Amino acid sequence: FIGRTRRGRFVIDSFKLRMPLFGNLNRKTAISRFARTLGTLVTSGVPILQALNITRETAGNAAIAAAISQVHDSVKEGESIVQPLEASRAFPPMVVSMIDVGEETGKLPEMLLKIADVFDDEVDNAVAALTSMLEPIMIVFLALIVGTIVLALFTPLISIITGLQQQT
């Protein structure tokens, strides 16, 4: 119900970025998608304002989309990309610094694609770490389930055997 409104979607997506264990992974995925999409569009010759609009629509996260919208408004006014990115706090300082360097040197598309590559690698590493952490937890959980089933099966049998021994 909450996710159907624009404000509700923003609250849910903001929580997804701050969620324990998975928040960092969600943030890295969203930043990678933002950087890859914007970098590819700008490299292809799409004007920056149009590229920001497209990137906002494909962000997949309302909090990131709101930050991109602020960037769009800033660029539309002739300002830098960096200030609204810093103000949004949705992007890590390293990303903001790399975008700042790319903007100053005129190599923004290359820098965006480099950011996307770095964050893609970080997402892969985070997924591998989560998987290796979840494997033992799953094994213990399944062992508890199997143990409970075995106990549930053998408890009545032991009761029957005990009852038969007492009758004889």
The per-residue pLDDT for range 44-103, each reduced to its tens digit, is 999 999 999 999 999 888 889 999 999 999 999 988 889 888 888 888 999 999 999 999
Q: What is the pLDDT of residue 3?
A: 64
Domains along the chain with CATH numbers: 2-119 (1.20.81.30)
Confirm if 75 and 2 have CB atoms less than 8 A apart. no
Q: Is the pLDDT of residue 4 over 80?
A: no
Q: What is the pLDDT of residue 140?
A: 96
Distance, CA of 168 to chain centre: 66
pTM beyond cutoff 0.85: no
The per-residue pLDDT for range 19-55, each reduced to its tens digit, is 888 888 999 999 999 999 999 999 999 999 999 999 9
* Alpha-carbon distances, residue 151 vs 91, 101, 120, 134, 135 (angstroms): 51, 64, 46, 26, 24
Rg (CA), the chain: 26
148: part of which helix (H) or strand (E)? helix 108-167
| CA 95 – CA 64 distance, rounded (Å) | 13
Confirm if 62 and 10 have CB atoms less than 8 A apart. yes
